[in-house]
Amino acid sequence: MPSSATERTESRGDSTRKKIVVGVTGGIAAYKACQVIRDFTKRGADVTVVPTPNALHFVGSATFEALSGNPVTTSVFEHVDEVRHVELGQDADLVVIVPATADFISRLAHGRADDLLTATCLVATCPVVVAPAMHTEMWKNEAVQRNISLLREDGLCVIEPAIGRLTGPDSGAGRLPDPRQIVDLALARLDGVTFHRNLAGIRLLVSAGGTREDLDPVRFIGNRSSGKQGFALAEIAAQRGAQVTVVAAATDELPDPLTATMVHVRSAHQLKEAMEEYLPGMDVVIMAAAVADYRPANESDTKVKKGSKGEESLQTLSMVENPDILKELVAHHDHQIMVGFAAETGDESHTPLEHGLAKAKRKGCDFLMCNEVGRDKTFGADSNGGWLIAKDGTYQELPAASKYVVAGEILDAVAQLVPRHLQV
């Protein structure tokens, strides 16, 4: 088990051919582990699956072997000559338990080594990520929560379960998150993002995605923002204990961040209203949304038809300026730590950083994350990079890395400004 001291074992970088042990335990969500295994292998990892004997009631070894391309061992008494648990634990760059049942969590929290998977976890010195899935009553049970706390104290990363439909007709907290979210968070951990609870008790508001300004019921003016950076900020902040509210404009059909309160909006105007409504109860506000600077002067209630009188309005768009939401929030904020973004292409006279530094002065927020953007750069991509500019104009370069790594670095900077009395 890794200790907090060994938490930051990996530096930035890719996960190519990293060795990942995927532990599968005996819950109905075991079938979702198949997608997690597939995604890890697609992203270049060398995956070895270690199912508990009970997991094999749900998914067979043949499936795990086919998906991972590696043999599956389930018992310490198989391949005894190879001492599998020691070999697997020592070689792993990352261990991910998906799904983790209440029983497995209890055994792991208490240092048991009564099957191959727990024994492997005890040997592993790499980061261990645990994705619990169980019924709401079990998840909320005090003994289970006590065990979860023990795992976190020991430096393991526990992914908060999602709220939603469970095995039966009921729904609640305890659902295994979307496999893509598990993979993203686990790879973030592999890339060195820590999930220490330094934002516990902090109320964080983040806007994400791109606003859409309607011309008529079928047409709109939008932008290339995918929402990935805003959602990554929400995910990492929630993992670090923050209570997160996300105001989401259009996103690329991304799954909602886990455990965040979601407010879905469309236009810049709606985004402004939502941000203003939630601002007073917050400690940190991050404007990651790409907001339209202009909207059509007139919106038609019916489709503008070719050859109709209104056609002219589409040929020559008349636009009016939208408010600068961030600037207004900064003007009216109270104690909140304010963070903005700058999407810059640079031009013949100024570099993206120069534009970013000027924008930081104009916006007046505590931090401005300046990104270089382009048709295929940053917008929609899984990676990001740039300069995190502080209020006094000093800046820190953030080399290109996954949006989760960048989120972790922005939140590290934010955490340093959070007054101690707000943290629990």
The verdict on whether residue 334 carries a ligand-binding annotation is no
Active site residue 223: yes
Contact indicator for 261, 237 with CB cutoff of 8 Å: no
Q: Does 326 bind ligand CTP (CB under 6 A)?
A: yes
CA distance 418 to 399: 24
Q: Minimum distance from CB of 287 to ligand CTP (Å)?
A: 4
Q: Out of 343, 398, 406, 411, which residue is the one contacting ligand CTP (CB under 6 A)?
A: 343
Q: Does 357 bind ligand CTP (CB under 6 A)?
A: no
CA distance 256 to 206: 13
Q: Out of 340, 352, 385, 408, which residue is the one contacting ligand CTP (CB under 6 A)?
A: 340
The verdict on whether residue 199 carries a ligand-binding annotation is no
Q: Choose the stretch contacting ligand CTP; rule: CB under 6 A; options: 86-94, 230-238, 288-296, 391-399.
A: 288-296
Nearer of residues 234 and 268 to ligand CTP, judged by Cβ:
268
Nearer of residues 29 and 288 to ligand CTP, judged by Cβ:
288
DSSP 12-78: SS--TT-EEEEEE-SSTTHHHHHHHHHHHHHTT-EEEEEE-GGGGGTS-HHHHHHHHSS-----TTS
Residue 362, exposed/middle/buried by CB under 10 A (0-12, 13-18, 19+)? middle
What's the token pair of residue 174?
Answer: 């305890």
Nearest one of 419, 356, 418 to 393, comparing CA atoms: 356
Contact indicator for 230, 265 with CB cutoff of 8 Å: no
Q: Does 406 bind ligand CTP (CB under 6 A)?
A: no
Nearer of residues 55 and 343 to ligand CTP, judged by Cβ:
343
Contact indicator for 413, 199 with CB cutoff of 8 Å: no
Nearer of residues 259 and 322 to ligand CTP, judged by Cβ:
322
What's the token pair of residue 240?
Answer: 């670090």
Residues 239-278 that bind ligand CTP (CB under 6 A): 268
Q: Does 289 bind ligand CTP (CB under 6 A)?
A: yes
Q: Catalogue the active-site residues.
A: 223
Q: Which residues are annotated as a binding site for CTP?
A: 293, 303, 323-326, 341, 359, 363
What is the binding site for ligand CTP (CB under 6 A)? 268, 287, 289-291, 293, 322, 324-326, 340-343
